Amino acid sequence: MQFKDVARVEIADGRTICLDFNGDLSYISHAHSDHVVGKKRNEVVASDPTIHLSGISYNSKLVHDHLKLHPAGHMLGATQVEIKRDGGNFVYTGDFSLADGFTYKGANIVEADELLIESTYGSPDYHFPKKDDLAQILKKEVQSRLQYGNLIFAVYATGKSQELIKILNEHCGITPVVSPDVAKVSEIYTKHGQNLSFINSHSDEATEAFKGNFVGIIPKSQFRPELRMRLTQHYHRPCYFGSLSGWNAKFPSDVYDIALPMSDHADFNDLVEYVDHSDPKKVYVFGAFAEGLSNVLKLRGYQSYAVG
């Protein structure tokens, strides 16, 4: 069974809505690029922050009694959609986290007759520490590295960077220097009510900050191991690198000095908890570990299908 077969859903007026893919009427769960393929939309269902962060253009926005958006955690503006139909409802979670982040509230669990759930970390290998514990570990790491040199985190520009800025601001009393890509997204967060303090690396303020030891944030896609040597020579002091990702729970990195299992997704227990409380008659699982999680759900008595 393919994702698009399940994620093309009929709504009350007889039309179909495409969940996280482009169609005449499409729903966008959140602004991460793998959920926003194609920047031009006809009729769209999405939260205002998601529309702003994703940079899409559209002809019209649909608000319909039978389409209800619920918070999904995960990042600013992320939602789940509940589609009410004759004889029941269909819920699509998109990427979600039950735990609160530093810039978002955790997801609601929505009771569903049919549930389409993402399973990014749907393996028992993935259990994530509490966010406040991670912030304390991060604080100690940041303080100790800054005594000797610079510390640069390579994380996703959208979502994870803003979580990190918030931790640095509120737990460490630090204003990080961030790349223009990260600054651009962070400015949108600020417009939507998140108070983030950061310095754009292409500003005069950054030139001042670079004179002392600093914490930097660059997009993960720009990280190269050779940057360590290059920046160490440039600033004449050690340059350490940090990674914050759920994958660090199972694959400790040997290219980063700090690699913490900090994720904005549900972990395995959260995924099972979601399904148990949603209690669907049918559940469709998609993403990494879909087959494994679907088998676990079958053993728990659910009519479950892995979606490719």
Total site size for Zn ion, rule CB under 5 A: 2
Count Cβ atoms below 10 Å from residue 187 Cβ, excluding itself. Answer: 12
DSSP state, 247?
Answer: G
Given the rule CB under 5 A, which of 7-15, 25-33, 58-66, 116-124 is the region that contacts Zn ion? 25-33
Which of the residues 91 through 150 are near Zn ion (CB under 5 A)? Answer: 95
To Zn ion, the closest distance from the beta carbon of 62 in angstroms equals 22
**Closest by alpha carbon to 29, among 66, 58, 72?**
72
To Zn ion, the closest distance from the beta carbon of 308 in angstroms equals 19
**Closest by alpha carbon to 185, among 77, 308, 102, 95?**
77
- Cβ-based neighbours of 221, under 8 Å, separated by 6 or more: none
Rounded to 5 degrees, what are φ and ψ at 12?
-60, -30
To Zn ion, the closest distance from the beta carbon of 76 in angstroms equals 11
- Cβ-based neighbours of 33, under 8 Å, separated by 6 or more: 158
> Binding to Zn ion by residue 32, rule CB under 5 A?
yes
Nearer to Zn ion, 142 or 165 (CB): 165
The answer to whether the beta carbons of residues 104 and 274 sit under 8 Å apart is no
Given the rule CB under 5 A, which of 24-32, 45-53, 140-148, 174-182 is the region that contacts Zn ion? 24-32
Nearer to Zn ion, 21 or 210 (CB): 21
Nearer to Zn ion, 74 or 145 (CB): 74
To Zn ion, the closest distance from the beta carbon of 191 in angstroms equals 20
Dist. CA 242–CA 239, nearest whole Å: 10
The answer to whether the beta carbons of residues 182 and 161 sit under 8 Å apart is yes
Nearer to Zn ion, 150 or 161 (CB): 161
Which of the residues 191 through 220 are near Zn ion (CB under 5 A)? Answer: none
To Zn ion, the closest distance from the beta carbon of 303 in angstroms equals 27
Given the rule CB under 5 A, which of 27-35, 37-45, 54-62, 160-168 is the region that contacts Zn ion? 27-35
To Zn ion, the closest distance from the beta carbon of 265 in angstroms equals 7
Inter-CA distances, 151 with 141, 197, 208, 229, 257, Å: 9, 17, 16, 13, 9
Which positions from 73 to 102 touch Zn ion by CB under 5 A, shown as an x/- string?
----------------------x-------
Residue numbers of the site for Zn ion (CB under 5 A)? 32, 95
